[in-house]
Every structure is written in C-alpha cells, then in structure tokens.
Amino acid sequence: MAKRKKDTKPPRPGGGEKATLTGFLDYLREAVAAKVAGAPEPQVRTPGVPSGTSLLGLAKHLTCVERFHFLGEQIDDWPGTWRPSADETIDSVLAGYRSAVERANKVIEECADLEQPGPRGASMRWVLVHMIEETGRHAGHADILREQIDGSTGR
C-alpha cells in the first residue's frame, strides 16, 4: 500500500477523484499542523475569540473528528475536544493529530470504491468531502488565530 506524501501545494488537476479528494484533505491537514507548530506557549492554548477557541484546541478537535469519522471511535464529550489539558503540549497534540491522520489514510487507501460506507455508514465520498469542509473551515480559523498570536501569515 503506497503512502501519500505530504505536499505544501494543493493537488494538480487530472489525478482522479480519490486522489483529488485525498490530496486536498492532506493539503489542509498540513496547513493546520503548520499553524500549530512553533506557536509560542501559552498563547497557543489561549482562546483568541470569545467562543473559547484556541490554536491548540483546533488541532485537538480535528484529531477527534478524524478518529470519529474515519476510525469509528466514539466521542462522548465533543465540547471537551476543543480544550487541551494542561499536560498536553504542542508536540503531543500534533503527534496525536498526525497519528490519527496516518490511521485515517490507511482506511481511505483500503477503500476501493468511494460509494463504500465508512465506519459510520456514510459513503467514503461523503466522509472525504465533509472532512475537506471541516478541516478547511478550521484551517481558516487557525490562520486567524496564529496571526493574532505572533503576526505569522501565509502557509
């Protein structure tokens, strides 16, 4: 089973449906991880908006979303997925995110037909599109939060 390589550019046209969907999802996943990596403490965990969202909380939440949709894991406390604990670090949260992504990618790779249901019953096509939307929305939030923290902009 071939591993998809991380890319800092979106996929090029003409790669087929599955390659296009997974390429965009991986591109967005890496965008989120890049915004969290190197952010200073304690700002990375400090809410940047009245809703309480923090940069580290975004990565923790997306880890849980990956595990829920692709791995079928039950999440009993969705609000808690937004709040990193005091002992969670940038490195530990990113390692958890990357591990969830790696495991999710194995599930995706093993899916021969995007009409096949994922672990929660929706088609793999639906799950991929939903995860592109979810990760893309939160990547935008991460861009704003990181800019508020230290002025960092761009990918």
Q: What residue ranges define each of the domains in the chain, with the CATH number in brackets?
A: 17-150 (1.20.120.450)
62-75 confidence digits (pLDDT tens) = 999 999 999 999 99
Give the span between the Cα atoms of 75 and 129, in whole angstroms.
21
Q: What gap in Å lies between CA 145 and CA 36, rounded to an integer?
A: 10
**Sign of the torsion angle spanned by Cα atoms 28, 31, 33, 35:** negative
pTM exceeds cut of 0.85: yes
Confidence of residue 153 (pLDDT cuts 50, 70, 90): confident
3-state class (DSSP) for residue 139:
helix
Distances (CA, A) of 71 to 3, 11, 51, 144: 18, 24, 28, 29
Cβ(107)–Cβ(70) below 8 Å? yes
Question: What 3-state DSSP class applies to 42?
Answer: coil
Alpha helices in 43-89 (DSSP H): 55-71
Q: What backbone torsions phi and psi does residue 117 show, to the nearest 5 degrees? A: -75, 145
Q: What is the CA radius of gyration of the chain?
A: 15
For position 73, what pLDDT does the model report? 97
> How far is residue 95's CA from residue 97's CA, in Å, rounded to a whole number?
5
Structure tokens at 32: 């989120």
* pLDDT digits 0-9 by tens, 3-47: 334 446 777 787 899 999 999 999 999 999 999 999 999 999 999
